[in-house]
Structure 1
């Protein structure tokens, strides 16, 4: 392969070269994401250390999921009525204040666990406020032919921090304690604020959203009426709600791999390694020009790899299949984000991004519940295999009923 061909195989970095504003934004959000994963691990550790109760650690998931879903719906409508830059900065400042308060209680150590959960819920609400606004940045800052590359850069940096953040948190917790972990997260918000502060004003391009519930309903009508966007979100639900495997890993490990804790720890790492690798080598994918086909194929690879993982008896083969599954999922998510941003008018993009965030958050959580319940009635292997098969069937149905996703090049809509 020629040097030019080899370079085109790697992630497309043109957005970093051509847009200083986008470059600052990516750097700031990458550092802040690192801090976010550190706080995620620290909160889990602190709640367990305070209570030694799985009920309280489960309540932590509720404190994160409920605000994310509830706030995102109305935040999306607000993002389509106001300056998205200012809205994102508001969310960033609010989340930083919550992180600082978590640091204070971490150093003092004299609060009830409910206080920690309330701070987490408020911080998640601010994150949900900023997420729909952030969803419009890439298509507004980059030319159309670089949108997929910009999304890939955001995705690969986020995945890399998902690998690094928990490890850094473990080291900091062991050496300096929970207060320092929260404080470091607070400091990372400074770079995130700096990256977004240099953005131009980004008001909606087109008719502003109606206030309140009416604006939310307008966004839902677009989602249900636009076949390509609807198909993209349904494909994501097929890969998460029908087949998300994480809750099954301990049971499958016990059933098939001798309950070896070293194997269990590698399962999640294998998914992340596959995702990072696929995104790092996403140059041909982002230049391919057919994100619908990439999304369908990626989701199909995810489902098929999970079926084969459920059938495998070799730990090393199983880990290899999880790497493949993570790669397929990463390609599918990148293509889905591209479809949503290319097909959605800017005046509706805040609301559609909010729906995308909700699907991305709720789908895996509900998928873990589905997988766990089915495994309780049958076995981990059966739940894993049937989930993968249902994913393949659902993706096939979306492909058969949504020809727009198979078009050679996406046709954006106009407001």
Structure 2
């Protein structure tokens, strides 16, 4: 049993990891208040599905643009300062939502402005957060750190919306936005306790040339390229969340719609709670491809079965596969990317996790309209498995990646060991 329980070594060895863990938990839970309240308030003001759906349009472009710029910025300035300022900015946006909700007649325009602003600040912050992990966690504990962060996310994804829904339903929009604001204030306080994370002495100013340099580095590394490509393929072909309501209608199980949305998080949570074994694996590329293949196969099975209980199990298995693939990606990134490029490569990651699901929902909706809802599931799942197989053949170095033999991983470990030696206190002379 002890070999299955989550590996807590990053928690014990790194004070900054503990601080970021708590900071992330606070902002994640409290942000759900605004994430639930914002679309509901737009619906309340307009009674228009199109107006609610327009949120996605105003969020995507800022996320991509500022994600790429945030990656370059994370390599050029203190990452702690970048995280702290973005949290403060998110707090200001929460204050705008609170003030607007207290007006006799709340305005619609500020809701879209805030949605775009949140997306932009999230794009700026995500590379700094992601690139901090490799600096504060020992090299051999990267998989354990990724598992703990994913576990925090999955617990929040299950409990956060439920709590947010209760607050919005019984206390109203001002209470939800007020809790969000308080969460960001606490987050800023926690960020002030983090150790500084300055850039390297020869860091360049953010520029398009710097972003292009990061892209060229990723393109020149088949292992990294494979992690991005597999994730994009999995999300594009097999991310059908937007058509869950239609599947629930076909299965005569409208009552289970909420369970369908949360089943994936439950599967990920189960894997996270039994993730101790992942810290002993060195072939993390296998995590990436096997997890993505399990995701695709489970999504395909979701479209084959008609028993809602089996469908929910399939979605839970898909969530577990997605988390396994995510653990592999995060570990490879943190073990191999040079410190001076980490922010820019994290910015490219933003493209993967934002564009892939968005395009996947378009694909799922289009195929469902042409051939039916269930065929959109099984066809997308099968295409996901086929794409992962093709990428495995095209990029064999991803599958053979070994943390103990990969040149980039060994170089990065040596750099961390050297940095640790340089920061060790000198011995006290004895008389």
Normalising by structure 1, what TM-score? 0.95
Question: Take 2:189 and 2:16, find their aligned partners in 1: how far apart are those partners?
Answer: 11
Paired position in structure 1 for 2:111:
116
1:99–1:182 Cα contact (<8 Å) kept? yes
Paired position in structure 2 for 1:367:
360
**Matching residue within 187, 190, 199 for 1:192:** 187
Paired position in structure 2 for 1:386:
379
After TM superposition, give the deviation of residue 139 of structure 1 in Å: 0.8
In the TM superposition, what whole-angstrom CA distance separates every residue of 1:38-93 from its partner, at most 9, and x where no partner exists?
21101011010010111211111122222111111111111111111111111111
**Matching residue within 211, 220, 230 for 1:235:** 230
Q: Does 1:61 align with 2:56?
A: yes
Aligned residues: 408
Q: Which segments of 5 or more consecutive residues in structure 2 lack a partner in the other structure?
A: 413-431
After TM superposition, give the deviation of residue 284 of structure 1 in Å: 0.8
Paired position in structure 1 for 2:417:
none
After TM superposition, give the deviation of residue 179 of structure 1 in Å: 0.8
Q: Which segments of 5 or more consecutive residues in structure 1 lack a partner in the other structure?
A: 1-5
Paired position in structure 1 for 2:131:
136
After TM superposition, give the deviation of residue 265 of structure 1 in Å: 2.2
1:317-356 superposed matches below 5 A:
317-356=310-349
Which shows bigger deviation, 17-26 or 390-399? 17-26
Which shows bigger deviation, 208-217 or 46-55? 208-217
SS at match of 1:108: coil
Report which of the two structures shows the higher radius of gyration computed on alpha carbons.
2
**Inter-CA distance 352–387: structure 2 relative to 1 (3 Å threshold):** same
**Matching residue within 47, 53, 70 for 1:52:** 47
Paired position in structure 1 for 2:155:
160
1:296–1:399 Cα contact (<8 Å) kept? yes
1:206–1:346 Cα contact (<8 Å) kept? no
Question: Take 1:357 and 1:28, find their aligned partners in 2: how far apart are those partners?
Answer: 20
2:260–2:315 Cα contact (<8 Å) kept? yes
In the TM superposition, what whole-angstrom CA distance separates every residue of 1:361-413 from its partner, at most 9, and x where no partner exists?
22111101111001111111111111011100111112112222223523235
**Inter-CA distance 396–9: structure 2 relative to 1 (3 Å threshold):** same
Question: Take 2:306 and 2:48, find their aligned partners in 1: how far apart are those partners?
Answer: 34
SS at match of 1:211: coil
State the Cα RMSD in Å. Answer: 1.6
**Inter-CA distance 246–373: structure 2 relative to 1 (3 Å threshold):** same
Question: Take 2:327 and 2:299, find their aligned partners in 1: how far apart are those partners?
Answer: 20
**Matching residue within 242, 255, 260 for 1:247:** 242
Paired position in structure 2 for 1:95:
90
